[in-house]
Amino acid sequence: MDVAERPSRVFGFLRAVSGVLAVGLVLLALGNIGVQFYANTRDLPGPGTVSVVAHVVAAVLVVGAQIAADRYADWRAPVASLGVFVVGAATLWTFWWA
């Protein structure tokens, strides 16, 4: 049986930070769903369907990329981690900062 290759410290740190970002985006999507549900039950304007769907899609994408980053120890791990950063930055920029 072969021993699995361990990622370098830089890739491990990158993977850890992207994992934190992935969890944050999942929590943001769940919060967005909750606020939209609350707004609908009180007849208030909420974040909107586009925002909720975009946050859920972003959360699914980053979870998939983070799973890939956690499973591989070669070049695919940092590429997947960078994918988490790109999707997270695009979501935050589009729906929160712009």
pLDDT digits (tens, 9 = 90+) for 28-74: 999 999 999 999 999 999 999 999 999 999 999 999 999 999 998 88
Average pLDDT score over residue span 3-31? 87
Cα 4 from Cα 57, distance rounded (Å): 32
Q: Does residue 3 lie within any of the structural domains?
A: no
pLDDT of 7 higher than 80: no
Domain assignment of residue 4, yes or no: no
pLDDT at 2: 52
* In a domain? residue 31: yes
3-state secondary structure of 6: coil
Q: Which whole-number Å values give the CA distances from 6 to 2, 12, 47, 80, in the listed order?
A: 12, 9, 42, 16
Containing structural domain, residue 47: 9-97
Please check whether residue 19 lies inside any domain of the structure: yes
Average pLDDT over all residues of the chain: 92
Per-residue model confidence (pLDDT) at position 5? 64
Q: What are the start-end ranges of the E strands in 4-92?
A: none
Q: Average pLDDT of 70-87?
A: 93
Provide the number of structural domains found in the chain.
1
